[in-house]
Structure 1
């Protein structure tokens, strides 16, 4: 992953874990679909939010550590 997600508040983490619980391996696809829907109706704030949640889901789903491990 070339960059880490920006999280504006802890609600985004809660949304990511909820999607992961509900959709399993398809959670990232669901977040992307919600981002696309927000973009289509012109809501750029929710579009950006769901894109960051999608990135967070990918990060949380990784099998190995991302970044520096101390």
Structure 2
């Protein structure tokens, strides 16, 4: 995975909230929300929840990425 793009504070807050509420299943919950948004034809919310899914993966990853100072 390359350097992740995190769109802002809201993405971090929502990812953190899902991690608190769903634990290890937070990524699955974000994916389900993205799929639901896609099925409803809401492309903006679909993209939002896919971004949250990637943020959750980034926050859950224990591998150090980038430069360590």
Structure 1, unmatched stretches of 5+, are none
Aligned residues: 69
Please provide the CA RMSD for this pair: 1.3
Q: Given the two structures, how large is their TM-score scaled by the length of structure 1?
A: 0.88
Shift of 1:67: 2.5
5+ residue gaps, structure 2: none
Correspondences of 1:1-70 after superposition (within 5 Å): 1-7=1-7, 9-70=8-69
Q: TM-score, normalised by structure 2?
A: 0.89
CA distance in 2, matches of 1:45, 1:62: 26
Distance in 2 between the 1:29 and 1:5 partners? 20
Whole-Å separation in 2 of the counterparts to 1:44 and 1:3: 24
Q: Which runs of 4+ in 1 moved over 3 A?
A: none
Superposed CA deviations along residues 50-69 of structure 1, whole A, max 9, x for unmatched, are 00000000000011212332
